[in-house]
Amino acid sequence: MWALREQIRSAVHVVVQLNRLQDGSRRITCITEVTGRTDEAIQTQDLFRFVQDSVDGEGKVRGHFETTGHPPTFLGDLKSKGLTLDSHLFEK
């Protein structure tokens, strides 16, 4: 089990969760970073979450994405590869 968890942790960096909402649409509801592991579990931290605001008159779900305030640990890796993300994107 330890080796399996280590392989998953080293291969997966970001998990994008997609859910079917009450109106039948599919929407990304959570973007999560894999940050490490313990002997028992893979550790993660949410970066963004979809927050449902309302349902309009036609039954469509309305909402927005909200940052959790936790910048990803891989920002430095992106920068070293010449890719930049504005760090303000992750501020609450």
Residue 40 clears pLDDT 90, i.e. is over it? no
Note the pTM of the prediction, 2 decimals.
0.82
Tell how strand 61-67 and strand 14-20 pair up.
unpaired
Return the number of other C-beta atoms located less than 10 Å from residue 80's C-beta. Answer: 8
pLDDT at 24: 94
CB atoms near residue 72 (< 10 Å) = 20
Mean pLDDT of 6-22: 92
Quote the DSSP letter at residue 39: S
